[in-house]
Amino acid sequence: MLFLSWQEAVVLGTFLVFALAVSVADARKMLIPDVLNATAFAALLLLRIFLTRSRLALCLLGAAASVLLFLAVRFASKGRMGWGDVKFSAVCGIFAGHPSVFAGYAASCLFAAVFVLFRFVFCKEKAGKPFPFGPFMASGCAAAYIVMLCIGR
């Protein structure tokens, strides 16, 4: 059963608005604007402080751990992942919190793998072609957050 307080509904709605903007920007230009990341992070942080203070510590932990994870991925991939994705991981972390954000990243990777496989098989595109990861981060984290609300965590 989905239990969604009005406070969590405001947080979810705010994230979805920013997630849509990030997804469109990343899909069109393979770029997530800094102003979008900064505004989303600030808005979600303020909502966490004033509306859902009990989750604030887990959300800050999720944001910090997310940035560290995506920094490691960025450097391991030799820059193939953009800085916008690293910054957007902080937004996803402050939104979903720990540990939900990592379930979101697992879902993101699954969604991206299906997309890449579809593109490879049906569109005959070559392996290794870059693609925007922001939309997958946004959808994966939103899905994981909703699942966590449904199971009561």
Q: Give the tens place of pLDDT for each residue, 39-82.
A: 999 999 999 999 999 899 999 999 999 999 999 999 999 988 99
Q: Establish if 120 belongs to a structural domain.
A: yes
Q: Give the tens place of pLDDT for each residue, 105-130.
A: 999 999 999 998 888 888 877 777 88
Summarize the confidence of residues 131-144 as an average pLDDT: 96
Domain count for the chain, please give it: 1
| pLDDT, position 2 | 61
Q: Establish if 65 belongs to a structural domain.
A: yes
Summarize the confidence of residues 90-106 as an average pLDDT: 96
Which among 20, 10, 6, 78 is positioned nearest to 46, based on CA atoms?
10
Residue 54 lies in domain: 6-151
The pTM assigned to this predicted structure is 0.93
Q: Establish if 95 belongs to a structural domain.
A: yes
Confidence of residue 27 (pLDDT cuts 50, 70, 90): very high
